[in-house]
Each structure stands twice: as C-alpha cells, then as structure tokens.
Amino acid sequence: MKVTVIISIYNNIPFLKVVLDSLQLQTEKDFEIVVSEDGENPDVKTFLNQYPFSQPWQHLTQKDEGWRKNKAMNNAIRASKANWLIFIDGDCVLHRKFVEMHLRYADENSILAGKRVKLDEASSQLILKDSSKIKSLQELLIRRLFFGRGGLRYIEEGIFISPDGLMGFIPKVRTLNHLTGSNMSFSKKAILSINGFDEDYVLPAVGEDYDLTWRFDSAGFTHKSVRNLAVQYHLSHIENWVNQDENMKICRHKQMENNYICRNGLEKRI
C-alpha cells in the first residue's frame, strides 16, 4: 500500500468516529489506518472492532501512565506497513482530498507540513451528529469567510484550493517552515534517520512538532507546505493546554548539544 495514516487518540470515541468516517470519504483509497492509543480503554477496542473499515487497520495500545503520545507514535511507526507516513490527531476531521494531496507532494527529501481550521461548537456538532455533513464544510467555511466567522479560527486554513485550478498558485506562495503534529507527513526513512519521536517529552506540545522541526532541519531535510491542499478541520473542545516552559527547556538543551538524533526514541541509545 502507498501510505499509513496514523491517528493519535485518547478516549474520545465520538470524535474518533467522525475522523474515521472522513477517511472513508477519501479520494485516495490505497492506505492503511493505525489507531495509536495513549492508553488502553476497552470501549475504544469494542468500538473499533465494530466499525465498518474499508481499509486495513491496526489498533495499538499502551498503559495509561500520563501523557506519552511520543511513545505511542513510535509504536505506530514500528507497526506501519507503508513507506510514507501521515500523522493526524483523533480530533481532526479530513477533507476528502487530504490523503491524495499528502501523497501527491510526497518526497523522501521533504517533510510535508499542513495546518488546520478550528471549528466552532455549532459546526463541530453539525458533523458529530451527521458525518455526511463533512462534504458541506467547504461551502460553510466559504460563506463564513465572507459573511461572518463566528467562533471559527484560522478559517483561511480550511479552504481547499485545487493545485490544478485557476487559484492553484496560492498554495505555492503560502509557505510553512514548521510542523503541526496533527497534519504532517514524511517517509519512514526520514523519521528513522532521527530515531523517531523523542520520548523524553512527557508533556503535550513541543516534543510532537517543534522538536521534530529542528531535528529534521538538522538532518538536512526541507519543509514543504501543503496548506490549502491537505485540509483539516479541528473539532471544538476544551483544550487542556499546559505551560510549555519545561518542554522548551528540554528542547533548548538538546539543541545546544545538537542531539537531533534522539537517544530515547525508536531505539534506546541512553
């Protein structure tokens, strides 16, 4: 198969359902799904065993011992069967061309970086109640772009622009030089070259995106933007944001030592 789509989740089954539903709508069909759970909720297992997948899939779990997303991502990398890996979160619904666009611009020497629109409560509930409404999100976002955004944030990131259309030049000029952990892709060769995600990070943020950005840069990879191409819709929920000072302290220390091939990653080199 061409690609592995890795979904990072923790407990939220209604959100996971619509994310999986959006994967069933993809124009590109040749991919596997790896649901990598930072925990081992039996309800998630029951749900997945009953879900009508159209693609090969795997469900990975680990003991719930606090935030260990990076460990869960490394588990998924080891289990993946494709050479190109797309990473998304369990609260991010996908435009139907999402996988197609990541594959279209796949390049072993490049790291693909996308963004996401943050939906408000009303638009989130629309698709949570009826996932077929995912198809109408583009029309909704365009209306809200011109006639009032409401609670939508980063709405420009949610507009799909065909690279083959008259406006195809726009994604080319909307560059991006950093990663968002919920919308990125790269080759297995690339992530192996920096020894995967760094498991020294045990708090959210930094270790799942910022850390990867500088490490890929140091390893000689270039960043390629898929803004307005690989479009993603982030479902509204209360965000459990934490202070990033501790993670940034860890990251700066690693940067000073130029430890871009992490010691506590896919392989343990401690």
CA atoms within 13 A on the CB side of 40: 6
User: Of 57, 49, 17, 1, which is closest to residue 33 (Cα–Cα)?
Assistant: 57
The DSSP code for 155 is: G
Q: What is the pLDDT of residues 164-208, one digit of tens each?
A: 999 999 999 999 999 999 999 999 999 999 999 999 999 999 999
Place of tokens 């619904």: 93
**Average pLDDT of the residues in 99-120:** 97
CATH topology of domain 3-115+175-228+244-256: Spore Coat Polysaccharide Biosynthesis Protein SpsA; Chain A (3.90.550)
Q: Can you give the pLDDT at residue 145?
A: 87
CB contact at 8 A, 51 and 27:
no
- Please give the structure tokens belonging to residue 172: 């080319």
How many Å apart are CA 254 and CA 104, to the nearest integer? 33
User: Of 125, 230, 250, which is closest to residue 183 (Cα–Cα)?
Assistant: 230
Q: What is the pLDDT of residues 123-152, one digit of tens each?
A: 999 999 999 999 999 999 999 888 888 889
How many Å apart are CA 135 and CA 188, to the nearest integer? 31
Q: What is the pLDDT of residues 48-97, one digit of tens each?
A: 999 999 999 999 999 999 999 999 999 999 999 999 999 999 999 999 99
For 22, 44, 205, 231, 233, the CA distances from 98, given in Å and listed in that order, are 9, 24, 23, 6, 11
- Average pLDDT value for the chain: 95
Residues forming a β-bridge with 57: 33
Q: Can you give the pLDDT at residue 238?
A: 83
